[in-house]
């Protein structure tokens, strides 16, 4: 689980270790593999009509982008424990909100970076409109955020508890 605040990303030790292992693989063995694919495709001849070469170069570009993303993320990471249950919405918490104050129209989500989103719960970034609106609110408080169409939406924070994987 991650949380971001002013370019600092909070990571559990487990999340940090997983991302570091991915970076080590992509910047080591995976680079060697893609270089070998490109070299093999080059030997096939005319590069203008060589689908294998172009596919390998595209794969290499995506891989290098991911290496840059992981490097930046890990450079700004702080490893620590999940936030405490204070009743205030913060990154790393599972938040339950009610739309327009309707207790029957609710949503549970994890307020965290999508970089390490969980598949078992929807994740909203603290920088998203909803995340920005609820971050720092106390249980029972109302929050407002802007929808993609420019209209405002109101929600009430019903619960905020630390995420446990």
Domain 2-79 sits in CATH at 1.10.287.180
Distances (CA, A) of 37 to 33, 34, 45, 59, 107: 6, 5, 14, 10, 46
| Mean pLDDT score of the chain | 83
- Say yes or no to pLDDT of 140 above 90: yes
> pLDDT over 70 for what percent of the chain?
84
Domain limits, CATH 1.10.287.180, in the chain: 2-79
- Decide if 3 contacts 126 (C-beta within 8 A): yes
Domain 93-162 bears CATH identifier 3.10.50.30: yes
> pLDDT over 90 for what percent of the chain?
40
Domain limits, CATH 3.10.50.30, in the chain: 93-162
- Say yes or no to pLDDT of 7 above 60: no
The first and second tokens of residue 54, run together, are 């172009």
pLDDT at 49: 79
């Amino acid at each position: 689980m991650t949380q971001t605040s002013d370019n600092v990303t909070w990571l559990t030790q487990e999340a940090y270790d997983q991302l570091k292992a991915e970076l080590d693989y992509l910047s080591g063995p995976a680079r060697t593999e893609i270089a070998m694919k490109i070299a093999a495709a080059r030997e096939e001849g005319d590069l203008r009509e060589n689908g294998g070469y172009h596919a390998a170069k595209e794969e290499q570009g995506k891989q290098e982008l991911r290496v840059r993303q992981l490097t930046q993320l890990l450079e700004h990471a702080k490893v620590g424990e999940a936030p405490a249950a204070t009743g205030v919405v913060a990154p790393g918490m599972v938040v339950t909100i009610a739309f327009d104050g309707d207790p029957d129209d609710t949503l549970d989500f994890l307020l965290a970076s999508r970089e390490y989103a969980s598949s078992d719960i929807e994740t909203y970034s603290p920088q998203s409109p909803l995340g920005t609106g609820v971050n720092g609110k106390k249980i029972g408080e109302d929050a407002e955020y802007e929808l993609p169409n420019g209209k405002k939406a109101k929600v009430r924070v019903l619960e905020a508890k630390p995420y446990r994987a």
